[in-house]
Amino acid sequence: MDTTREWAIRKDRDDPLRRFRERFYIPEGCVYMDGNSLGLASRDAEACILRVLEEWKTLGIHGWLDAKPSWFTFPEHAGKLMAPLIGAKAEEVVLAASTTANMHVLVATFYRPEGTRKKILADELNFPSDLYALSSQIALRGGNTKENLILARSSDGHTLDEDEIIRLMDDSVALVLLPSVLYRSGQLLDMERLTRAAHDRGIPVGFDCSHSVGSVPHRFDAWGTDFAFFCSYKHLNGGPGAPAFLYVNERHFGTAPGLAGWFGFRKERQFDMALEFDPQPTAGAWQLGTPHMMSAAAVEGSLRMFDEAGIDSIRRKSLELTTYFMDLIDETLSRSPYDYSYATPRDEARRGGHVAVEHPREALRICEALKARGVVPDFRPERVIRIAPVALYSTFEDVWRVAQALKEIIDLREYERFGKGRKAVS
Ligand SMILES: *Cc1c(COP(=O)(O)O)cnc(C)c1O
C-alpha cells in the first residue's frame, strides 16, 4: 500500500473520471469533504436552472406543456434519469416532495397494522427525522411508539448487525424501515439480504437511501425491495432543498396511496378535475402536488452527469478514495499522539461513500480547525468528523491533504484556538 502524496498525484492523473471535476464549482481554496451533506453546484445543474428560468420568462403558463422536457411530466422524466442508478424501471421512480414527506406518503401506504401485526421495525442509528415520522405514523393509526416502534440496537454505537435486525422480524412486525447507509458511521447495510429475510416472513420492507444513492449502486428490482425514498442534495448534487425521489416496486402499482394528491392522478385526465381520485398506474401515483420546477431543474443537470459517468465507475473511485483515507489513518493518524480512529467498516461491501473519523477528546475543535484550514468536513456529536471524498469532484490529493491537516492540527495544537460551543448547523 502506497500512501505517499506522489501516489495520490499519479492516481489523479490517471483517473478516468477526472474530467468531471472542472464541471463543478469548487469554492475557492477549499478541500470540500461534505458532499454527503450538501453536494456541490455544477455547471450542468446551473445550465438546467437557467433553461427553466428562460422557459418561464418566454413561455409563462405554456411551460407546463411546451417546455422541454415539459414541466407537467418533469417528475417522471427525472425518474427515468434516476432509474439506472437504483436498478429500477423508469416507471418505478419519480421525483417528488422531500425525503421526509415521501417517507410519510410511503409509510402511510405500506404500514398496515392488523390484528397482532402492528409494529414497525426500525433502528436506533437512523436519521432522527425518520424516527419522528414513524412515531407520528403509528400515532395516526391509534398506536403508541413505546409499544409499536421497535428499534434494532447497536452494540458499538456505530454499526448495526443484520443478524440482530433479522432476529427482530417476528410475526408482530407489520413493516421494516431501515437506512441503506448509516448517516453517522457510513455503514452500508445488506439491503438484499434484509429484503429477502423480511419477505420470507411476509413483511414489506422499505429503505431510506439518502446516504447511498449517487455513491453506491442499488438493485431494487433484483432485490424485490417494496419501496425506497431518498434526497437529491447529498451525493446527487441537486442543490439545497432539492426535491427528493421515491421508488415503488411495480408489483404494488394499483395499490391506493395512503396519502393522495392531484399530481398522483392519471396524467391524461388530471385536468378533468374529477372529484374521485384515479391514480397513475406507476410510482407517479405517490406524488402529491406540483413539482418545484426551479430546484427540480438542477437535479436534472446533475443526473445527466451520473448517467455519463456511470454509477459503477463512481462506486469504484469512491471506494478507492475512502480506502486511501483509511490507509492514511492506519499508517500514522491512529497512533499516539494523534489517536484518530474510524467508525466506518473497513470491508468494502459494508461501507458507503464517507468515512466517520473519531477523536476521543477533541473532535469538535479539530473540526473547527479543519474549517479554518479550508477543509470542509462536518461534525456529528459526540465525536464524529465525517469526511466524504466524492468521486465526481474530489481528488486523491485532496484526501492526502485532509490527512495531513488532521496530523498538523495535533502537531501544532491548532484546535486549542477554538471554543467548545457548536453552531446551529454543524
Ligand atoms: C438527509 C436525510 C434526511 C433529510 O430529510 P429531508 O426531508 O430532506 O430534510 C432524512 N433521512 C435521512 C436518512 C437522511 O440522510
Taking a C-beta distance cutoff of 8 angstroms, is the pair 208, 227 a contact?
A: no
How many Cβ atoms from other residues are within 10 Å of residue 326's Cβ?
Answer: 20
| Nearest residue (CA) to ligand 1, atom 3 | 99
400/277 same-domain check: no
Q: What is the mean pLDDT of residues 320-328?
A: 98
Q: Which atom of ligand 1 is nearest to the CA of 179?
A: 13
Instruction: Place 101 in a pLDDT band, splitting at 50, 70 and 90.
Output: very high
Residues 370 and 274 in one domain: no
Burial of 146 (0-12, 13-18, 19+ CB in 10 A): exposed
Residue 401 lies in a domain: yes
Please indicate, yes or no, whether residues 281 and 316 belong to a single structural domain of this protein.
Answer: no
Domain boundary pick from 275, 309, 343: 309
Among candidate residues 277, 309, 341, the one where a domain is terminated: 309
Residue identifier of the C-alpha nearest atom 2 of ligand 1:
210
Higher pLDDT, 213 or 420: 213
In a domain, 375, yes or no: yes
Pocket test for ligand 1, best of 127, 234, 235 (most atoms within 8 A of CB): 127
C-alpha cell at 104: 410519510
Check residue 421 and give its pLDDT.
75
Q: What is the DSSP secondary-structure string of 138-205?
A: HHHTT--HHHHEEEEPPSSSS---HHHHHHT--TTEEEEEEESB-TTT-BBP-HHHHHHHHHHTT--E
The parent domain of residue 271 ranges over 47-309
Overall average pLDDT of the 305-313 stretch: 98
Residue 384 lies in a domain: yes
- CA–CA gap between residue 349 and residue 354 (Å, rounded): 13
Identify the residue whose C-alpha is closest to ligand 1 atom 1. 210
CATH number at residue 269: 3.40.640.10
Q: Is the domain of 358 the same as that of 244?
A: no
Q: Looking at the 3D structure of the chain, how many domains does it have? A: 2
Our answer on whether the CB atom of 210 is closer than 6 Å to any ligand 1 atom is yes
Same domain, 302 and 315: no
- Of all protein residues, whose CA lies closest to atom 8 belonging to ligand 1? 99
Indicate which residue of 15, 123, 208, 226 is catalytic: 208
183 belongs to a structural domain = yes
Which pLDDT belongs to residue 202? 98
Instruction: Say whether both 318 and 396 belong to one domain.
Output: yes
State whether the beta carbon of 127 lies less than 6 angstroms from ligand 1.
Answer: yes
For residues 289 and 360, membership in a common domain is answered with no
Tell me what the mean pLDDT of segment 160-167 comes to: 98
Annotation marks residue 119 as catalytic: no
Ligand 1 mean position, distance from CA 414 (Å):
33
Q: What is the pLDDT of residue 382?
A: 87
Pocket of ligand 1 contains residue 99 by CB under 6 Å: yes
Domain termination residue (choose one: 276, 309, 342): 309
pLDDT at 48 over 70: yes
